[in-house]
Chains A and B, each alone.
Chain A
Amino acid sequence: MKNILLICFKEFKGYFVSPIGYAVMALFGLIFGFGFYTATRDMVQLGFRAQMMGQQQPMSVNEQVIRPLLGFAGTIMLFLIPMITMRLVAEEKRTGTIELLLTSPIRDIEIILGKWLGALLLYMCVLGMSVINIAMLFMWGKPDLKPVLVAYLGLLLQGACLLAIGTFVSTTTRNQIVAGGVTFFVSLLLWLLSWFTAFESTVLSKVINYLSIVTHMENFSKGVVDTKDVVFYLSMIFFSLFLTSRSMESLRWRA
C-alpha cells in the first residue's frame, strides 16, 4: 500500500512539473465553460419565451442544463484521457527508468495501481473544474443534488475505466504519441459501438451494445445507479489492469 501511494504521488506530481496537468485542466475548463454558458443561456431564453407566451412549461435545471452538460463533460474526457495516460509507462520505457522500478523491491501490480491511481487523481482534479460551474447553478437555482452526485459517480467510473485502458496501451509501446493515439481510438471505438447497433436486437448487437461505454453512462446521467452498470465499469477496470500487469510482465522477457 505504501508503495502504491509512493508511485501514485510521484505520478501526480509529475503531471504538474510538466505542462500536461495544467494543459488538460485548462482545456477542460475552457470547453466545459463554453458548454455551460450556452446551455444556461438557452435555458434562460427558453424560460423567458415561455413566460411571454403565457405558458406554464415545467422547467428543470437538472434535466435541461446539468444532464446534457455532464454528458458533454464525458465527451471532452474522451479526448483528454489519452493525454493523461500516454506517458505513464511509455515514458519510463523510453528513458530506461522502468529498469529502476522493475529492479526495486516492489511488485508489478503496485507499480500499475500506483500509476493508474495517480492518473485518476489528475482526472478527478480535471473533473473538479466543472464543479465551479455546476456550483453556480446551485447558488442561483434549486437543482436536485442527488442526480448530480450520481452523474459524477458515473463520470468517475467511466474515466477510471478509460484510464485503465490507457495505462494498458501505454505499457505496449515506448512512444508516447503512439500510446496516446491508440488509446484515443480504442476509447472512441468503445464510445461509438452503440451507434452500430442502435436499431438491432440480435444477440450480437446486444453484446456489442453492452460493451459500449456510453450506454452504461445513460443511467448514471439520469440519476440512477444500476448495479449492472457499476459491475460493467468495475469489470472493465479490472480487466484492463489485468492486461496491464500481463504486459508489464512481458517487458521482462521481451526487453
Chain B
Amino acid sequence: MIKVEGLTKRYARTVAVDNISFEVEKGQIVGFLGPNGAGKTTTMRVLTCFLPPTAGTASVAGFDVLEHPMEVKRRIGYLPETPPLYPEMEVSEYLKFVGQLKGISSADIAKRVDQVVGRCAVGDVRNKLIGKLSKGYRQRVGLAQAIIHNPEVLILDEPTSGLDPKQIIEIRELLKSLAGDHTIILSTHILPEVENSCERVIIINQGKLVAIDSVANLTNRLRGSEAVALEVEAPDGHPDPSEVQQRLEVVSGVSRVVMKDSRNGRLIFEVESLQGRHIRAELARTVVNSGWNLNELRPVGLSLEDIFLQLTATDKGAGGSHAPQEVEGAGK
C-alpha cells in the first residue's frame, strides 16, 4: 500500500531523512517512532505530497508522490501535528468544507459529516466555533477531518498529543476500528501508544531507520535480555566512575552500562545484558574482585522505553553492540 525506497530529504543545511526504505501493507497500523526531530514529520509530509523528496521514491496505492500527486492526495487522510483548523468556522461547517475540498459530492456531504461527527464523538460541539473548543475536541475534529473522505491511507502525526487518558483510549479504539479497511501510519514519541495500537513499529532516529519490526518481536527481544541495578562503593570512599564503568562494560554478556546516580561515594549503575545472557553472577564477581563493595544488585524490568532508548541512543560504547541486530531486523 505504501512503499518508500531510499527516501532522502535534505533541507538547506540538515539532512532530515536519510535513505529510508520501508513498506506498509494494506490494512496495517504502523507506529512511527522516534525522538523529537528524528524525521517523522518530514517523512509523513513527503508521503502526503506536502514536501517533495530530495532523492528516492515514495508511492501510495501504487501512485508515485511526484508523478501523480492528485491521485495520492485523494487516497490520503492527513492529520498534521497541529490540526489544520479554521478557528472562525463551526465544526460542521469546517468538516463540510474539508469534505468538499477532498472531492466529496454535495449530495453525499451531509451524510458523511454526520458519520464522522458520530465516529469522532464531536456531536455535542458540532455547532460551536472551532476557536472556542478545548484541545481534546480540536484534536478530534482534526481526526474527523482526516477520515471524512474515507481514505485508504491515514497518516496521523501524533494523534493523541494533548489528550487526557480517557480520550487517548477513545482515539485508540477509534483507530483500531478503522484498521482493516484503512492503512494507518501514526507517529508518536509515546511508547505505550505503539504497544497498544500498532502491529508494526518503524523506529527512526536522526533521519535514519533504526528498526522495523512487529511489536511482538520487539517485546520478545527485550524479554530475552535482563537489566540489573548495581550499587558500588569504594572502600576509600572515592571510586572512579569511569573506571567502574569500564570494568563493568568488559564483563561478557553486557550490552550497555549507564550510570544513574552517585552520592556519598556510592555509584549506582544500570547494566543491561545481551539477549539470553545471565550476567548477575559475573557482575558481582567483577565488582568484588576489583576491591569495591557491592552494596546492591537487583534485577529491574526492561520496558519498551529502554529498548527505544537503546536503539535511538547515539552509538557509543556498548550500546552499539545492538546495531547489527537492527540491520538484520530491517531487512525482514
Contact = CB atoms under 8 A, between A and B. Distances in A.
Interface of A: 2-3, 6, 10, 14, 17-18, 95-107, 252-253, 255
B80 interface: yes
Contacts of B81: 96
B145 interface: yes
B52 A253 contact: yes
A255 B50 contact: yes
B224 interface: no
A97 B88 contact: no
A14 B86 contact: yes
B101 A6 contact: yes
B103 A105 contact: yes
A48 B10 CA distance: 76
A98 B50 CA distance: 10
B52 A106 contact: no
Point out which of A100, A101, A106 has the most chain B C-beta atoms below 10 A from its C-beta: A100
A25 B69 CA distance: 40
B98 A105 contact: no
B85 A97 contact: yes
A48 to B, nearest CB: 52
Given A10-B97, A100-B145, A105 B84 contact: no
A6 B52 contact: no
B80 A3 contact: no
B44 to A, nearest CB: 10
Given A17-B88, A253-B52, A255-B50, A99 B80 contact: yes
B97 A6 contact: yes
A10 B76 CA distance: 23
A105 B50 contact: no
Nearest to B100: A6
Nearest to B82: A96
Contact of A103 (B49, B86, B87, B97): B49
A252 B101 CA distance: 19
A103 B52 contact: no
Nearest to B69: A105
A99 B50 contact: yes
Grouping DSSP codes into helix (H, G, I), strand (E, B) and loop, the B interface class, with mixed when no group exceeds half, is loop
B88 A18 contact: yes
Interface residues on B, range: 20 to 34
B101 A104 contact: yes
Contacts of B48: 103
Contacts of A100: 78, 80, 84, 98, 101, 145
Contacts of A99: 45, 50, 78, 80, 84
B200 interface: no
Given A18-B88, A96-B84, A97-B84, A104 B52 contact: no
B88 A106 contact: no
A106 B51 CA distance: 15
Contact of A253 (B51, B80, B84): B51
Given A252-B52, A253-B52, A103 B103 contact: no
Contacts of B45: 99, 255
A227 to B, nearest CB: 38
Given A6-B101, A10-B97, A103 B50 contact: yes
Contacts of A255: 45, 50-51
B256 interface: no
Contact of A104 (B51, B86, B89, B102): B102
A88 to B, nearest CB: 13
Contacts of A97: 84-86
Contacts of B76: 103
B70 interface: yes
A97 B130 CA distance: 13
The 8 A-B pairs at the shortest CB distance, nearest first, are namely A100-B84, A17-B88, A97-B84, A105-B73, A103-B48, A104-B101, A105-B74, A96-B82
